[in-house]
A and B are shown apart, each in its own frame.
Chain A
Amino acid sequence: MNINNQHYKLEVSSSKRLLDVLREDLNLTATKECCGIGECGACTVLVNGKAVLSCLMLAAEADGAEIFTAEGLADNGQLSALQKAFLEKGAVQCGFCIPGQLIAATYLLAQNPHPTREEVEEGIAGNLCRCGGYERIIEAILSVAEKGEEQQ
């Protein structure tokens, strides 16, 4: 598979989740595990451009796929517009949900570059945050949408 524009060839056991391969085999730990049952969004990655919960996908299903994780968001240390907005608007507290939130937001803006507030609320509804209460995250995403600097 291709992860963040890097090619990886590996053999994995048929029972391994994509999340395990990313985190344990490849040490790509930006993608987090919280609930493990597809309810919290901490493990969100893009698979062939679609937001996917990597705890619900077997690694084998991602054979040959293009995977994008939060490690890929910054370009040579240059933060993406969404990453900057998350910092500027105060979306980041403990940070554990943030990689998943950023990927969900990236996907949302790729699908819908100028979402309404309601559409943003819906777009990240699958990504739980316990620190911040979502207001700052929503504001950050809207600020990027308004500037027209959508990702990807």
Chain B
Amino acid sequence: MNLQAVGTSQYRGGGFERVTGQQKYVADIKLPGMLESKLVTIDCAHAKILSIDTTEAKKVPGVRLVMTAADLPQPVPRFGPQIADRPVLADGEVKFHGEPVALVVAETIEAAKEAARLVHVHYEELSAAFTVAMALDPATPLVMDPSLRPNDPLARTNIFNEYHFGWGEIDESQADLVVENTYSFPMVTQFSIEPHAFIAAPDKDGIAVWSTIQHPYWLQKILANLLGLPLSKVRVYAPDPGGGFGGKQHTKYEPVLVFAALKLGCPVRLVLTLEETFQAVRRTSCETYIRTGFTHDGKLVFQDIRANYLVGAYVDIADRVVAKGSYAGSGPYNVPTVRILSRSILSHTPPATAFRGFGNPEVNWAVESNMDEAARLLGIDKLEIRLRNLAKKGDKFIPYDKPADGDWREAVLKAADLIGWNKPLPPSHHRGISVGMKLGPTTGLSYSLVRLLGDGSVIISCGTSDMGQGARTVFAQIAAEELGIPYEKVTVVMGDTATVPYDQQTSASRSTVLMGNSVLKACHAIHAQLKTRLANVYQIDESKISVEHGKVILPDRESPISDLIRIALGKLGGELIGVGEERKDAEKDHPLGGSACFYEFNCTAVETEVDKDTGDITITRYVTVSDVGKSINPLQVRMQDEGAAVQGLGHTLMEHYIFDEKGRIRNLGAGDYRILTSMDLPKEFYSETIENADGPGPYGAKGMSEGALLCVSSAVASAVSEAIGTTIKDLPLTPERVWKAIQMQK
């Protein structure tokens, strides 16, 4: 296939606006008569609210509303993507550090902040559960009111859900070696540089909401339910988010803002501080107990995994994270028997939600670290033990799911080659190599509209959120390819539920595949219309005309679509409109409700040097290789993989929430919570792809953008443990932790 626009590194759609500062994010939008607001919180992880005194706050000049749960419809409305457990404002009890008890609305943000300080909350502090052990202690109070989950046998525990996956019966006698460990993965936050922001405004007989949301149609549904409005009266504007990483998937403070805006009859804006985003979204932390059985030659015999994920005070989407993150826990390997027990454990901590990797990095860290320990104990090379177990293309490595869909060995060998696996290392340098695999979406539904205008330019309407991954660029490239027009002539419209057709969500690295196929189908619908029209114009049979990759092939000649569009449209002109629909239906009996659309596979290899006096880790060389099927835009693929790798280095080396003894987070914000800066990068960085056009997306593409984050931790830890002669089983590998591990050896 000779491709023109696809497979090239077109400039990022919306790039011009972003380098000139013209791009409007939610916090940049000002509506006439808009009021500002501030959340009121207490410095407590768990408390019973006795009373809230708003008298003083209301006296601050410019204050228009101080809203508490008592001002909301009763009983206080609750919402959530999995279970409607979260009250619009704290309802008698604060269940995590930072849960809002009131919202102050004022003419200026200064007045709102001042009044928020003057809201006096009388409360009784209660003991908080903020670790797995605390939450599972029978003496710990229940985080969730059992009445919210009737008929649930777990309702009187802090376990929200339990999942059992696996196949075969584990028979330990078959294993020559059993490696048994417990690994912990820290609580980390998405840390989008754009903090969440929201505006709600009455809109005739409905409501309009601007949000930094990844899933505008899901938000629309939740608000419609809360307000008892038809979907058509809830308009969600979703300007391109300034980074999402999962943390902007679901409804947060839009509901309280909507109630305030309707009460006041004017627009209200809420822009979170970075500290508040830490209390709004985070990754599930996890403690994974794992036993892995091997034969003497390093073949896997069984994987026995128990993963305790700590979700927050409200479920958000975290229970799905637990299910999907642990389901493929045994990794991209052929394992004869597997037993996985994973649990979503409620706690008095900020609600965990989706975060790039969706629960997989947590368990991958344990599985891959055990592989390294087995390699060491069995005297097998770390690369070799992986190659011996890796699933080959077509292997049903998860018996009831999609067979392995890539040449994963090729990716591993490429990474090994790039890191120089068999070459001598400089003194005091060490290497690690790891593999990661994650399921793409299990269900999906994406509609698109493609309009080929009379002058040969194109408008695509589709509901994906372009939060930095560059979805606009990819869809424009597909349309340019199929309709034979320059990339620059395509405009992509997103982010308005009233004018753009439905898309289920922007997550699970789905958009290139699902929305990409939808756009492709819409272009093909235009091809069909072109044929009909041209057959009519030229008075020939439609079957004598074919259209492909932007060209019309007539019996006597070939022409670009752009040369024939005017002829095809005729005197009235107008446009051709193609509708695309791509669905991946649910599967009733599947443990996850649907099988994998594709797998994201990645191999990461690192070379490190450890300063034994300080515990400081330097990554001297870093290699990430992802199987992406086909790069629609090679530069954007590289950008995704580099970004994912550096994000993965964050939870590997430095990121974690620190709690005090009462469950309050002590390192909120950029001052005390470190993410990588330009000074913390690997000294050499290589990002490569495997492209065998074997994905289900356009031109053989697979989803990508999470893969390169999956197995960063184990690759780095493996090299570090060789350097210091002992294994660290808790992330992040902070200098303090590494230094202590070195001292313990002495």
Q: Mark B434-462, 1 if CB is under 8 A from A, else 0.
A: 00000000000000000000000000000
Say whether A137 contacts B15, CB under 8 Å.
Answer: no
Residues on the B chain within 8 Å of A127, using CB: 678
Q: Mark A137-150, 1 if CB is under 8 A from B, else 0.
A: 11000000000000
Say whether B20 contacts A70, CB under 8 Å.
Answer: yes
Within the complex, the shortest CB–CB distance from B651 to chain A, in Å, comes to: 13
Q: Select one of A36, A70, A131, A138 contacting B643, CB under 8 A.
A: A131
With both beta carbons as reference points, the residue of chain A lying nearest to B23 in the complex is identified as A95
Within the complex, the shortest CB–CB distance from B490 to chain A, in Å, comes to: 17
A56 at the binding interface (Cβ < 8 Å): no
Within the complex, the shortest CB–CB distance from B418 to chain A, in Å, comes to: 15
Compute how far the CA of A71 lies from the CA of B56 in the bound complex, rounded to whole angstroms: 41
Q: Mark A25-51, 1 if CB is under 8 A from B, else 0.
A: 001111111111101101000000000
Among A28, A40, A71, A135, residue most surrounded by chain B Cβ atoms (within 10 Å):
A135
Compute how far the CA of A1 lies from the CA of B711 in the bound complex, rounded to whole angstroms: 51
Say whether B194 contacts A133, CB under 8 Å.
Answer: no
A18 at the binding interface (Cβ < 8 Å): no
Segment with Cβ contacts to A, from B241-249, B325-333, B548-556, B588-596: B241-249
Residues on the B chain within 8 Å of A98, using CB: 18-19
Q: Select one of A71, A87, A129 contacting B15, CB under 8 A.
A: A87
Say whether B19 contacts A29, CB under 8 Å.
Answer: no
Within the complex, the shortest CB–CB distance from A88 to chain B, in Å, comes to: 7
B677 at the binding interface (Cβ < 8 Å): yes
A83 at the binding interface (Cβ < 8 Å): yes
A-B contact count (CB 8 A): 167
Within the complex, the shortest CB–CB distance from B62 to chain A, in Å, comes to: 13
B11 at the binding interface (Cβ < 8 Å): yes
Say whether B647 contacts A79, CB under 8 Å.
Answer: no
Compute how far the CA of A132 lies from the CA of B110 in the bound complex, rounded to whole angstroms: 34
Say whether B681 contacts A133, CB under 8 Å.
Answer: yes
With both beta carbons as reference points, the residue of chain A lying nearest to B18 in the complex is identified as A95
Compute how far the CA of A10 lies from the CA of B15 in the bound complex, rounded to whole angstroms: 33
With both beta carbons as reference points, the residue of chain B lying nearest to A129 in the complex is identified as B193
Q: Select one of B14, B193, B241 contacting A128, CB under 8 A.
A: B193
> How many chain A residues touch the partner (CB < 8 A)?
55
Q: Mark B1-32, 1 if CB is under 8 A from A, else 0.
A: 00000000101101111111111110110100
Q: Mark A69-91, 1 if CB is under 8 A from B, else 0.
A: 11101100001000100111010
A15 at the binding interface (Cβ < 8 Å): yes
Within the complex, the shortest CB–CB distance from A39 to chain B, in Å, comes to: 4
Within the complex, the shortest CB–CB distance from B715 to chain A, in Å, comes to: 16
Residues on the A chain within 8 Å of B676, using CB: 133-134
Residues on the A chain within 8 Å of B645, using CB: 133
Say whether B30 contacts A27, CB under 8 Å.
Answer: yes
Say whether A125 contacts B677, CB under 8 Å.
Answer: yes
Q: Mark B511-533, 1 if CB is under 8 A from A, else 0.
A: 00000000000000000000000
> How many chain B residues touch the partner (CB < 8 A)?
57
Chain B, 640-698, CB within 8 A of any chain A CB: 642-643, 645-647, 669-671, 675-679, 681, 685
Say whether B679 contacts A34, CB under 8 Å.
Answer: no
Say whether B642 contacts A79, CB under 8 Å.
Answer: no
Within the complex, the shortest CB–CB distance from A127 to chain B, in Å, comes to: 8
With both beta carbons as reference points, the residue of chain A lying nearest to B28 in the complex is identified as A29
Segment with Cβ contacts to A, from B144-152, B464-472, B474-482, B717-725: B464-472
- Summarize B's interface: helix, strand, loop or mixed: loop
Once A29-B21, A29-B28 are accepted as A-B contacts, the answer to whether A94 and B678 lie under 8 Å apart by CB is no
Residues on the B chain within 8 Å of A129, using CB: 193
Compute how far the CA of A135 lies from the CA of B649 in the bound complex, rounded to whole angstroms: 14
- Summarize A's interface: helix, strand, loop or mixed: loop
A21 at the binding interface (Cβ < 8 Å): no
Q: Select one of A33, A120, A126, A131 contacting B243, CB under 8 A.
A: A131
Q: Select one of A39, A87, A99, A121 contacting B678, CB under 8 A.
A: A121
Residues on the B chain within 8 Å of A102, using CB: 19
Say whether B18 contacts A135, CB under 8 Å.
Answer: no
B181 at the binding interface (Cβ < 8 Å): no
Residues on the B chain within 8 Å of A34, using CB: 193-195, 274, 670
Compute how far the CA of A35 lies from the CA of B685 in the bound complex, rounded to whole angstroms: 28
Residues on the B chain within 8 Å of A124, using CB: 678
Among A42, A94, A97, residue most surrounded by chain B Cβ atoms (within 10 Å):
A94
Once A71-B20, A98-B18, A125-B679 are accepted as A-B contacts, the answer to whether A135 and B191 lie under 8 Å apart by CB is no
A112 at the binding interface (Cβ < 8 Å): no
Segment with Cβ contacts to A, from B216-224, B394-402, B609-617, B631-639: B631-639
Once A121-B681, A128-B675, A131-B243 are accepted as A-B contacts, the answer to whether A31 and B193 lie under 8 Å apart by CB is no
A9 at the binding interface (Cβ < 8 Å): no
Say whether B21 contacts A37, CB under 8 Å.
Answer: no
Say whether B635 contacts A87, CB under 8 Å.
Answer: no
Say whether B670 contacts A40, CB under 8 Å.
Answer: yes
A116 at the binding interface (Cβ < 8 Å): no
Q: Mark A1-34, 1 if CB is under 8 A from B, else 0.
A: 0000000000001010000000100011111111
B582 at the binding interface (Cβ < 8 Å): no
Say whether A121 contacts B30, CB under 8 Å.
Answer: no
Say whether A94 contacts B12, CB under 8 Å.
Answer: no
Say whether B193 contacts A92, CB under 8 Å.
Answer: no
B559 at the binding interface (Cβ < 8 Å): no
Among B9, B193, B643, residue most surrounded by chain A Cβ atoms (within 10 Å):
B193
Once A35-B274, A134-B681, A138-B678 are accepted as A-B contacts, the answer to whether A70 and B27 lie under 8 Å apart by CB is no
B273 at the binding interface (Cβ < 8 Å): yes
B607 at the binding interface (Cβ < 8 Å): no
Q: Select one of B192, B271, B470, B669 contacting A37, CB under 8 A.
A: B669
Compute how far the CA of A81 lies from the CA of B106 in the bound complex, rounded to whole angstroms: 43
B304 at the binding interface (Cβ < 8 Å): no
Within the complex, the shortest CB–CB distance from B277 to chain A, in Å, comes to: 9
B627 at the binding interface (Cβ < 8 Å): no
Residues on the A chain within 8 Å of B362, using CB: none
Once A37-B669, A90-B638 are accepted as A-B contacts, the answer to whether A130 and B20 lie under 8 Å apart by CB is no
Once A29-B21, A125-B679 are accepted as A-B contacts, the answer to whether A94 and B241 lie under 8 Å apart by CB is yes
Say whether B646 contacts A134, CB under 8 Å.
Answer: yes
A122 at the binding interface (Cβ < 8 Å): yes
Q: Mark B233-273, 1 if CB is under 8 A from A, else 0.
A: 00000001111110000000000000000000000000101
Chain A, 91-121, CB within 8 A of any chain B CB: 92-99, 102, 120-121
Say whether B243 contacts A69, CB under 8 Å.
Answer: no
Compute how far the CA of A120 lies from the CA of B646 in the bound complex, rounded to whole angstroms: 18
Say whether B24 contacts A29, CB under 8 Å.
Answer: yes
What are 29 A-B contacts defined by CB distance under 8 Å?
A29-B27, A30-B20, A30-B22, A32-B194, A32-B242, A33-B195, A71-B20, A73-B21, A79-B16, A79-B20, A87-B19, A92-B19, A93-B470, A93-B639, A94-B240, A94-B467, A94-B468, A96-B243, A98-B18, A120-B678, A122-B678, A124-B678, A127-B678, A132-B642, A133-B646, A133-B647, A133-B676, A133-B681, A136-B642
A-B interface, 10 closest residue pairs, ranked by CB to CB distance from nearest: A30-B21, A95-B18, A96-B242, A94-B468, A133-B646, A39-B670, A93-B468, A35-B670, A29-B28, A70-B21
